Amino acid sequence: MTISLNQTGKRFNYDWIFRRVTYTFQEGGRYAILGPNGSGKSTLLQIVSGHLHHNEGTVSYSIAEKPIESDAFFRYCAIAAPYLEVVEEFTLAECIQFHLQFKSFIPGYTAAQIAEIVGLGKAMHKQIRNFSSGMKQRIKLALAIFSDVPVLLLDEPTTNLDAAGVALYQQLISDHCGNRTLIISSNDEQEYFMCPERINIIDYK
């Protein structure tokens, strides 16, 4: 899938967060959106994902040069971000089954296998409200990375993870990202080490 931004801008009230972003995310590319805290990198990722609407310019999507409607893009992407919460009343097993109503996992993996891979195999019947912040982040990453979609969007993916969790995240990306388009919003190099293409949001102020 190709994602193209043309003179795209976003403002809140009268304050422009960024303007005139013209950039194309190519199929299978690995990209990092960089910038200090509060600079607008997460906002740009949310606009790419369709969670936020831009105020100027355009955002377009296509597969093999065939246009995809913007309101259908959610079917082709998975996102993990600190501001997107899991349902805390669910057990882990219920959370995974709920997710599978909307997106299937990449072939060859079951819910139980994925829980084991991210170190939560013994917590399948535990309510998420009783999970630590690091365990919740592992769930978010697992649901996104193992979703069978061509675009993977990650916002500050190692939030709340300890050293073992960071190593797990890096292994998940190395083992399971494949040839999907990967876009990561971050200011921490251990999160975007695999991304040769880098966009500095400060360039669009």
CA distance 67 to 183: 20
- pLDDT tens digits along 73-95: 999 999 999 989 999 999 999 99
- Residue 180's pLDDT is 96
Chain mean pLDDT for the chain: 96
CA distance 28 to 181: 4
Contacts for 99 with CB less than 8 Å, ≥ 6 apart: 143, 147
- Residue 77's pLDDT is 97
What one-letter code names the amino acid at 11? R
Would you say 92 and 138 are in contact if contact means Cβ atoms under 8 Å apart? no
CATH of the domain at 88: 3.40.50.300
Spans of the chain below 70 pLDDT: none
Number of domains in the chain: 1
Q: How far is CA 71 from the centre of its chain?
A: 17
- Residue 64's pLDDT is 87
- Residue 32's pLDDT is 98
Residue 95 structural domain? 2-204
- Residue 65's pLDDT is 86
pTM: 0.95
